[in-house]
């Protein structure tokens, strides 16, 4: 099979295929954007793929405005600066270009530029999103350059509170980008560790969505096929970063993970969010480290379900086979075994555990995550 090309309208308009970044100006037109601000992060700002994107919309008469003051695990300071740049340039929409950090921040700039309340008022709690002035939300076009978070098809953005160091999920249905360009060629230049970390994030989204106890068979099906795509293709892109067909399948798996986790996430993300917020570790890599202890913890509730997943993925041995597969995949990809290897010490476990049980993902874990169990899990992970 050669690398796939397709147009999808689910869960938003997606132009999928190698080389389709050349459709960026058309994507802006389809989203109703005439004066875009490209939002990306500091690392991507000077890369050729970013210059090429600017050249494309410049050539179409859309200017070449860029805001790149975005950190990994972006903060409210990045958001405020982005909104200021958006207003100063009198832009009418955002091109969110990059990994989850830049995509989330770009989406939130488009969301917040027209709001009067502080961003924390729109945290993903109950119906808080109805507080927003929906008519004042600007459109966005999302262009992922990693294959992991799936933020390009998400109705939320993650932002770290620079004062409390807590990661908050900001939600509104209209944060969903109007148009997405999924061009796997953009992911070829990712450093190997980011290829692995982001790929494992996609896997964690599918796995946690699949295991969460809520009733959502649609998500269940998407999550299962997403796991299969990661199993078949993450080792391929690890071995050969230029394998465009495998890069394309990883890009699908990333979008599928984010689509599936409308069903819920779980303890992997509940533990990983505070670790990322306090130690600034890479999100997907952190997930990859904590998956095995969480699988052991959840075993009583997910044993049968994971046996069914193992059968679909062609793994023998039910739950144990699946568990061994995860350990083998991590080892093959060079994922560190412990959070200690990512610079996490054991001196803040109480604080991390308290944050983990408050994390919105905790509620989707199949076994109730208590303060004591979170501490024990963190001890095992570190």
Ligand X SMILES: NC(=O)c1ccc[n+]([C@@H]2O[C@H](COP(=O)([O-])OP(=O)(O)OC[C@H]3O[C@@H](n4cnc5c(N)ncnc54)[C@H](O)[C@@H]3O)[C@@H](O)[C@H]2O)c1
**Residue 118 · residue 128 · CB < 8 Å:** no
Question: Is residue 198 a contact residue for ligand X (CB under 6 A)?
Answer: yes
Q: How far is it, in rounded angstroms, from Cα 330 to Cα 381?
A: 14
DSSP per residue, 172-199: -GGGS-SEEEE-GGGGTTS-HHHHHHHH
Task: Return all residues near 212 (Cβ < 8 A) that are at least 6 apart.
Answer: 263, 264, 265, 266, 364, 365, 366
Binder among 17, 93, 99, 292 for ligand X (CB under 6 A): 99
Question: Is residue 291 a contact residue for ligand X (CB under 6 A)?
Answer: no
Smallest separation, CB 189 to ligand X (Å): 4
Smallest separation, CB 148 to Fe ion (Å): 7
Show the tokens assigned to 177.
Answer: 């980008």
Distance linking the first and last C-alpha atoms of the chain: 42
**Cβ closest to ligand X, residue 41 vs residue 92:** 41
Please list every residue from 197 through 216 that binds Fe ion, using CB under 5 A: 201
Question: Is residue 76 a contact residue for ligand X (CB under 6 A)?
Answer: no
DSSP 19: T
Site string for ligand X, 25-44 (x = CB under 6 A): ----------------x-xx
Quick one: CA dihedral 255, 257, 261, 265, positive or negative?
Answer: negative
Tell me which residue has tokens 């000077």.
46
Site string for ligand X, 216-255 (x = CB under 6 A): ----------------------------------------
Smallest separation, CB 258 to Fe ion (Å): 8
Please list every residue from 158 through 187 that binds ligand X, using CB under 6 A: 158, 186-187
The binder of 44, among ligand X, Fe ion, none, by C-beta within 5 to 8 A per type, is: ligand X
Question: Is residue 201 a contact residue for ligand X (CB under 6 A)?
Answer: yes
| 186 alpha-carbon distance from chain centroid | 16
**Residue 141 · residue 24 · CB < 8 Å:** yes
The binder of 285, among Fe ion, ligand X, none, by C-beta within 5 to 8 A per type, is: none
Question: Is residue 281 a contact residue for ligand X (CB under 6 A)?
Answer: no
Show the tokens assigned to 373.
Answer: 């169990």
State the DSSP H helix or E strand holding residue 93, giving kind and residue range, or none if neither. strand 93-98
Binder among 17, 82, 98, 106 for ligand X (CB under 6 A): 98
DSSP 4: P
Smallest separation, CB 156 to Fe ion (Å): 11
Question: Is residue 274 a contact residue for ligand X (CB under 6 A)?
Answer: no
| Main-chain phi, psi angles of 15, to 5 degrees | -100, 105
Quick one: CA dihedral 17, 69, 80, 355, positive or negative?
Answer: positive
Please list every residue from 127 through 156 that binds ligand X, using CB under 6 A: 145-146, 148-149, 151, 154, 156
Binding residues vs ligand X (CB under 6 A): 41, 43-44, 47, 72-73, 98-102, 104, 145-146, 148-149, 151, 154, 156-158, 186-187, 189-190, 194, 198, 201, 258, 283-284
């Amino acid at each position: 099979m050669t690398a796939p090309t397709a147009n999808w309208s689910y869960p938003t308009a997606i132009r999928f295929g190698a080389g389709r970044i050349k459709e960026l100006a058309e994507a802006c037109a389809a989203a109703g954007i005439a004066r875009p601000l490209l939002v990306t992060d500091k690392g991507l700002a000077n890369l050729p793929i970013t210059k090429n994107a600017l050249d494309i919309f410049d050539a179409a008469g859309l200017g070449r405005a860029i805001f790149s003051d975005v950190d990994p695990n972006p903060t409210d300071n990045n958001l405020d600066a982005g909104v200021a740049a958006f207003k100063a340039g009198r832009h009418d929409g955002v091109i969110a270009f990059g990994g989850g950090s830049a995509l989330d921040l770009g989406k939130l700039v488009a969301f917040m530029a027209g709001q009067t309340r502080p961003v924390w008022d729109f945290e993903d709690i109950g119906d808080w999103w109805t507080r927003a002035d929906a008519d004042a939300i600007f459109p966005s076009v999302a262009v992922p350059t990693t294959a992991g978070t799936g933020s390009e098809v998400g109705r939320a953005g993650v932002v770290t509170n620079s004062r409390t160091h807590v990661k908050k999920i900001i939600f509104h249905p209209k944060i969903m980008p109007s148009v997405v360009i999924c061009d796997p060629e953009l992911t070829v230049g990712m450093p190997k560790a980011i290829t692995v970390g982001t790929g494992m994030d996609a896997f964690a989204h599918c796995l946690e969505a699949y295991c969460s106890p809520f009733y959502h068979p649609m998500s269940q099906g998407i999550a299962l096929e997403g796991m299969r795509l990661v199993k078949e293709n993450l080792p391929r892109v690890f071995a050969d970063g230029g394998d465009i067909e495998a890069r394309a399948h990883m890009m699908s798996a990333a979008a599928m993970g984010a689509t599936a986790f409308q069903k819920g996430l779980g303890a992997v993300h509940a533990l990983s969010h505070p670790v990322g917020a306090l130690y600034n570790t890479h999100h997907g890599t952190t997930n990859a480290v904590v998956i095995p202890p969480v699988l052991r913890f959840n075993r009583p509730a997910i044993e049968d379900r994971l046996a069914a997943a193992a059968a679909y993925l062609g793994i023998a041995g039910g739950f144990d086979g699946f568990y061994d597969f995860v350990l083998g995949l991590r080892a093959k990809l060079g994922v560190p075994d412990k959070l200690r290897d990512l610079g996490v010490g054991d001196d803040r476990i109480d604080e991390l555990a308290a944050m983990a049980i408050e994390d919105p993902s905790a509620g989707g874990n199949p076994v109730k995550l208590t303060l004591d169990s979170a501490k024990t899990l963190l001890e095992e992970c570190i």
